[in-house]
Amino acid sequence: MTQTTLTPEAIAGLFTRDGRYLCARWGRPVAPVIFGLADDSLAVFRDALRAVLAHARHPIAETDPEMGANMMTFFLRGWQELRDLPDLDRLTGQPGLAERLQGSDADQYRLFRFDADGAIRACIGFVNMGGRLAEAHPGQLAETVAVRAMLSFARDVTPTQELAALIRAAYDPVMPAVATDPSHALRLAARLRQ
């Protein structure tokens, strides 16, 4: 039996926003595309995403049959660059997102789209490299971006061995692709202790 600081309460906190619990994983293969990186950095991010998906035992694909790419990550020098993205409002469904992020202290922003059954269908992420992340180690940043896109985390998380184990537990075929009852956190915690 292994020791963990990820108690059922701590796990529930990772997936609870505004009093509502939601733990969803990808329900389809991940077809990623990355914008705004140089070729050498692009390879680092692709390798990190492949490693995180392999650890979760979830497939990666060249394309999604409906959407082409279903995980889109945009790297920007500043939030003002969002204004140059064509059809941003239509892509995100959030009018005024550029202005909201420019007025915030956020380094990253991501939003999920869900299939009819509640599993993750798409993840759109934006990473502001013009602020605190300008000096970030590419490998660590790549792992962080990949990990945060794997489950419907209600807050930002930092990659750790425990978090990797939690992701793997959530992707176990015996676990549901989506859960809205906080008792799901008890099941995840039990799997971490096996």
Residue 1: predicted pLDDT: 36
- Judged against a pLDDT cut of 80, whether residue 189 lies above it is answered with yes
Between CA 172 and CA 56 the distance in angstroms is 8
CA distances from 92 to 116, 123, 181 (A): 18, 10, 27
Between CA 41 and CA 129 the distance in angstroms is 13
Between CA 44 and CA 90 the distance in angstroms is 29
pLDDT tens, residue by residue, 2-13: 446 899 999 999
Name the amino acid, one letter, at 75. Answer: F
Confidence of residue 41 (pLDDT cuts 50, 70, 90): confident
Between CA 163 and CA 52 the distance in angstroms is 11
- Enter the CATH code of domain 26-150: 3.30.379
Longest dimension (CA), the chain: 52
Sorted by where each begins, the domain ranges of the chain are: 1-25+152-194, 26-150
3 state SS for the chain: CCCCCCCHHHHHHHCEECCEECEEEECCCECEEEECCCHHHHHHHHHHHHHHHHHHCCCECCCECCCECCEEEEEECCHHHHHHCCCHHHHHCCCCHHHHHHCCCCCEEEEEEECCCCCEEEEEEEEECCCHHHHCCHHHHHHHHHHHCCECCCCCCCCCHHHHHHHHHHCCCCCCCEECCCCHHHHHHHHHCC
Residue 19 CB contacts under 8 Å (≥ 6 apart), including other chains: none
Residue 4: predicted pLDDT: 60
- Judged against a pLDDT cut of 80, whether residue 194 lies above it is answered with no
Q: What percent of the chain has pLDDT over 90?
A: 78
Please state the pTM of the whole predicted model. Answer: 0.92
pLDDT tens, residue by residue, 113-170: 999 999 999 999 999 998 788 888 889 999 999 999 999 999 999 999 999 999 999 9
| Residue of 164, 142, 71, 81 lying closest to 112 (CA atoms) | 71
